[in-house]
Structure 1
Amino acid sequence: MATYGPLTRRAVFAQAWPIMLGQASIPLVGIVDTAVIGRTGDAVALAGVALGATIIGLIFWTFGFLRMGMTGLTAQAAGSDDKREVEALLLRALALGAVLGMILLALSWPLREATLAIMSAEAQVDTEAAGYMQGRFYGAPAALAVYAITGWLLGLGKTRHALTLQITMNLANIALDIWFVWGLGLGAFGVGIGTASAEAIALVIGLLLVGHVAGVGLPAMISRTPRALLTDRARLARLFAVNRDIMIRTVALLISFVWFANAGARLGAETLAANHVLLQFVTFAAFILDAFAFTAEERVGHAMGQSSREQFLRSIRLTGEFSLVSSAAMALAFFLAGSTIIDLLTTDQAVRDIARTYLPFVALVPLIGMPSWMLDGIFIGATRGKALRNAAVAATMLYIALDLLLRPSGNLGVWLAMLTSYLLRAGGLMLYVPSLLRDVSTPPAERRPAP
């Protein structure tokens, strides 16, 4: 299924560019969502989408382990040349994603009401956010299944297939959002239901791509996979242990972004809307630089499966070089073109003025955030869930404490705390690097549980 050539800069870039292109289209959808609402001139509707998107991000990406855990586990199974386990991993993840997605859909009303009650936004903003969230919940089962398929494709190094899946979903999302909002006048709900519809389309395309990679369709894959392998206790235990820790890690990080949104909401709808506009820059930087982090996940996971210290270190060095250069270029682009982009995203002058004031902080995000994103990729590929969990929980707690301490500084304090959170995450993971290096050359079957 997976093919691996020499680990060179050319090979790393060839693997990363499809991810980069696909990842670039993800924040593009967020930018279009923002522009579709923002160009109406309604700051309350824009703030509602901002709040609703943040909450949905927290709820859905809580199950992001279906993508992240799958990449590392699949890459390690491929590195060990365990083809049956590669297919069994996908089937387990798809089943788990379908069940979790249906549970989310069934609990959509209480989840929506409870999360909005926790936030401190204005009543009108809550109404807009509720409409957006309800639309998104309809796509929960498909969204989680797409997470699993994407992780599996990335774990096999099939980045062009993953690009096809991502681009298809995002183009459908953009078209449907414009139709539902500008064409049908559905407002924030239209943005939500447009995304949900695109996720359903992506699931169909994803299953077709799986069949192309595996050589058989999903029914045949299920038929040829031994039931004993699917339900093997040791493999299931490892799957759930890795996923549990990555889930806790993800929740901790998403709480940071919810806290960030809530901090803006406390300062009024215009500040919340301005921070959401600026957050599109942050999201764009994270997604683009994740192209090299995702490449590191697959390459590191493959090296771990082979127990190759040489390949492990070379993977880190080459992906790190690309990530550093890209982060510097992106920081410069944000600084030079950020003001023009802000004007394209919103017509509200007050929102524009606030966003411009804090643009320099956003320009620093690619450089400050890059080490934490790269380390995430390395530890996800190595399936070191506990290290990811502990570093994220500690960083989130310290970030919240710092934000509270800086609250008298208003939105300045909000952004200073956010920038510091990236340094805290990177520092926490660095503490685990020595133990990871000691463990690389140990055969998988002989490895002790990761600390």
Structure 2
Amino acid sequence: MTMLPQAEEITHRAVLKIAFPMMFAYLSTALVGAVSIAAIGQIGRADLSAGIAIGAILFDILFNSLNFLRSTTLGLTAIALGAGRTDKAKAILQRSLILAVGLGLVILVLGRWEIRIGLPLLGAHGTVLQAAASYAVIRVLSAPFALGNYAILGALLGRGRAIAGLALQLILNGTNILCCIWTVLVLHWGVRGAALSAVSGETLAFVAGLVWLRLSTGPLLGQGLTAAWRDGTGWRQMGVLNRDTLIRSLALLFTFAFFTRQGAVFGAATLAANAIHMQFFALSANCLDGFAAAAEQMAGRMIGARDTGGFRRAVRLTFGWSLISGAAITLVYLVFGQDFVALLTTAADVRADAGTSLVWAALVPVMAAGAFQLDGVFIGATWSRDMRNMMLLSLAVFLVAWAVLMPAFANAGLWAAFLIFLGVRGVTLGIVLLNRMKSGRILVAFGD
């Protein structure tokens, strides 16, 4: 067993050292789809633009549903390193990479069925379906690398290497953007060029990540890999954590999809207005995710180090920063929300509906701050069962609130139900955390 040097003190600076790079990393990711669609848009064919958008959505769903590879790797790694177990952290990385590449190969092998079934379900037909299929049949080649990058990013963040994580995301997204501009606008390869650009970005980032880990942690192959492969306990632990996190993620995806679908009841203008507000929330979520990443790493590290005081301080500081950020974003949207809406649409009816629901939408970031931050704490602490159960409870409350409020208050009731969902997530996770503190169980990680 190799011991680590003393852990970095939990300070405001330490929080920001992780949070800020990850904010920029997440924001850079948000640019990729926009650049691909914008590049294809220069061709002047709506069916190609729609095709690449639907194809990208298909892989967003496939890959994001497996994002547990990042969070589980992060939490287990932070705990192992907090306890000074670099050997265990390396074995966790090895198992995560095996699982990630294995799942990616499954997606690749089943790609024809995923494309044949998934694209029509997302509304693609005719020439749009042809364009989406042309994109998807190439983009599926990136699956092993895309999922491998989740594992690598989790390992980097678990080690507190947020700058390295940012660098890999910039390599991924920068390669994607530059290749997309070259292949689509210069070489005129169209949709296939955009797909090849995405594959190039994922592949180069994966290789760069492996090189960085090789230099910082030593060889990933050899005798250690055999031991990691044969560790049944480690695999069972990872399996349970991944299962719980997957259920939580699917419940969250269902909530967003259900919210969007219910907004369509009130007509196209309201649906578009709600979508614009949610687009702003998606952008602001990158800020909240940065502090969630800090909470993940610090909470896990303090549990591994058996440092109760450090854990409490990590929770307190990351919660404070997350709440301040959420409140600031809410204020910004209250002041500049109409300008943001006007930037995205010229339709008078959409602008009018967006103005009516602006206050509700502006409250989303501040209401979500606690849920994001506590999600980070629970991921880092590997309290996956509690996180899963509180998500399912929050979803049930959301559906009840929707059934009561939407018939009475129309779209405002829908937004109120969504705010209740976010608030209940934060409150229920907070109650579980307080109970753990009172019972002295905050240093109990999964499997302890």
Higher relative contact order (CA closer than 8 Å, sequence separation 6+)? 1
Alignment of 1:34-49 (within 5 A): none
Aligned partner letter, 2:106: I
1:324 and 1:303, CA in 2 relative to 1: closer, same or farther beyond 3 A?
A: same
Question: Does structure 1 residue 243 correspond to structure 2 residue 242?
Answer: yes
1:436 and 1:124, CA in 2 relative to 1: closer, same or farther beyond 3 A?
A: farther
1:442 and 1:350, CA in 2 relative to 1: closer, same or farther beyond 3 A?
A: closer
Alignment of 1:214-363 (within 5 A): 214=217, 216=218, 220-225=219-224, 227-263=226-262, 275-345=274-344, 358-363=357-362
Q: Is the 8 A contact 1:38 1:346 kept in 2?
A: no
Tell me the residue number matched to 1:207. Answer: 210
Tell me the residue number matched to 1:171. Answer: 174
Q: Is the 8 A contact 1:307 1:443 kept in 2?
A: no
Shift in Å at residue 213 of structure 1?
2.1
Aligned partner letter, 1:430: G
What SS does the corresponding residue of 1:57 show, helix, strand or coil? helix
1:266 and 1:205, CA in 2 relative to 1: closer, same or farther beyond 3 A?
A: farther
Percent of matched pairs sharing the same residue: 34
Tell me the residue number matched to 2:25. Answer: 22
Q: Deviations over 1:178-212 (max 9, x none)?
A: 44555566766665553333212211221122123
Question: Does structure 1 residue 371 correspond to structure 2 residue 374?
Answer: no
**How many residues align structurally?**
443
Tell me the residue number matched to 1:80. Answer: 83
Aligned partner letter, 2:71: M
In 1: Cα distance, 2:5 partner to 2:163 partner = 12
Query: Structure 2: any 5+ residue segments left out of the alignment?
Result: none
In 2: Cα distance, 1:82 partner to 1:277 partner = 46
Q: Is the 8 A contact 2:33 2:56 kept in 1?
A: no
In 1: Cα distance, 2:269 partner to 2:376 partner = 35
In 1: Cα distance, 2:356 partner to 2:197 partner = 32
Shift in Å at residue 348 of structure 1?
7.0
In 1: Cα distance, 2:61 partner to 2:116 partner = 14
Q: Deviations over 1:322-374 (max 9, x none)?
A: 11222222222333344444455567777666656544443222111111101
Alignment of 1:68-107 (within 5 A): 68-107=71-110
1:202 and 1:322, CA in 2 relative to 1: closer, same or farther beyond 3 A?
A: same
Tell me the residue number matched to 2:424. Answer: 424
Please report the TM-score for the alignment, with normalisation by the length of structure 2: 0.85
Aligned partner letter, 1:59: L
In 1: Cα distance, 2:418 partner to 2:56 partner = 18
Q: Is the 8 A contact 2:103 2:144 kept in 1?
A: yes
In 2: Cα distance, 1:409 partner to 1:443 partner = 44
Moved more, 173-182 or 153-162: 173-182
Q: Deviations over 1:399-451 (max 9, x none)?
A: 3555566279765555444333312322332342234323546576xx766xx
Aligned partner letter, 2:59: I
Aligned partner letter, 2:208: I
1:432 and 1:175, CA in 2 relative to 1: closer, same or farther beyond 3 A?
A: same
Shift in Å at residue 43 of structure 1?
7.6
In 2: Cα distance, 1:315 partner to 1:46 partner = 44
Q: Deviations over 1:210-260 (max 9, x none)?
A: 12321x3xxx33225162344222222111111111111112112223334
In 2: Cα distance, 1:441 partner to 1:332 partner = 34
1:208 and 1:442, CA in 2 relative to 1: closer, same or farther beyond 3 A?
A: closer
Aligned partner letter, 1:97: A
In 2: Cα distance, 1:44 partner to 1:133 partner = 15
In 1: Cα distance, 2:35 partner to 2:332 partner = 19
Q: Deviations over 1:115-159 (max 9, x none)?
A: 455557887876666565555433211110000000000001111
Please report the TM-score for the alignment, with normalisation by the length of structure 1: 0.84
What SS does the corresponding residue of 1:432 show, helix, strand or coil? helix
Supply the RMSD in Å over aligned alpha carbons: 3.5
What SS does the corresponding residue of 2:220 show, helix, strand or coil? helix
In 2: Cα distance, 1:397 partner to 1:121 partner = 32
1:34 and 1:4, CA in 2 relative to 1: closer, same or farther beyond 3 A?
A: farther
Shift in Å at residue 47 of structure 1?
6.4
Moved more, 223-232 or 140-149: 223-232
In 2: Cα distance, 1:269 partner to 1:125 partner = 21
Aligned partner letter, 2:419: L
Moved more, 299-308 or 136-145: 136-145
In 1: Cα distance, 2:282 partner to 2:189 partner = 25
Q: Is the 8 A contact 2:269 2:350 kept in 1?
A: yes
